[in-house]
Amino acid sequence: MTSILIVFLIIIIVVPMIAVLIYKNKEEMKEHNRKEFEKQREKLKIEENRIAEIQQALIDKYGQPTKIININAWKTYDPKKYIIVFAEQSIVYLDGQEMAFEDISSFKIIDNYEIKHGEVYGELDTDTDDDSLIGRSIGGAVLGGAVGAIIGASTASKNTTAYYSQENDQLIHNYILIAGTKSFSKPTIQIRIGDNWKLASEIEVIFNLILEKNK
């Protein structure tokens, strides 16, 4: 009786303690996640403010921009992901720096694509020849009774067919702007655009206009 009482006391003491520890651990995890979220949000806010300051400094210097292209497909605030054009002043903000149109000698947009192959699914279908099955079962029964019939059936002729199906392959685009410059120290500028074909086309038109104005 005493041992049962001890076990009962342990249960009523330990179980609530475990429940409290589990609850405390969950609350600590929630608080940790909340702090991480706030930290990331604060970081993004600082980056966003920096971009706003850069744009305002350019506006103060050159006036209102003709075109602002944001290539931040990954929801980050990277100055190098902005192309800001001041057509009247023949200035472009590119790769985080101000450049004169005449400093750009060439450009091209390449598609560094990859092919994602579709998943392949397969299954096996086994058919047993009925005539062979019956014949071998009867022969086995004559020789060995019921056990012989089972053995005879198991050695019957079988045909196994494999069936395969494959999902369609996917072409994943990865457009990259490569601009040639007249600087020996940095002859090329590369900016990853991503899979946005419309954005890549717009950038292509902008750079064609820049080179046309250089003529």
Same domain, 181 and 141: no
129 — pLDDT class (breaks 50, 70, 90): low
Q: What is the pLDDT of residue 131?
A: 52
Give the SS3 label for residue 106: strand
Same domain, 106 and 188: yes
Judge whether 188 and 178 are in contact, CB under 8 Å. yes
Asked if the structure places residue 23 within a domain, the reply is: no
Same domain, 148 and 177: no
> Could you tell me the pTM of the whole model?
0.62
Provide the number of structural domains found in the chain. Answer: 2
Asked if the structure places residue 24 within a domain, the reply is: no
| Between 98 and 132, residue with greater pLDDT | 98
Q: What is the pLDDT of residue 84?
A: 95
Backbone angles phi, psi at 190, to 5 degrees: -115, 130
Same domain, 174 and 84: yes
Residue 122 in tokens: 């397969």
Same domain, 138 and 160: yes
Asked if the structure places residue 15 within a domain, the reply is: no
Judge whether 155 and 133 are in contact, CB under 8 Å. no
Q: What is the pLDDT of residue 153?
A: 46
Same domain, 124 and 112: no
pLDDT, one tens digit per residue, over 9-58 is 667 777 677 777 887 788 778 888 888 888 888 887 888 888 889 999 99
pLDDT for 3 beyond 90: no
Same domain, 184 and 146: no
**Range(s) of the domain holding residue 161:** 120-165
Asked if the structure places residue 10 within a domain, the reply is: no
pLDDT, one tens digit per residue, over 60-113 is 999 999 999 998 765 667 888 899 999 999 999 999 999 999 999 999 999 998
pLDDT, one tens digit per residue, over 178-212 is 999 999 999 999 999 989 999 999 999 999 999 99
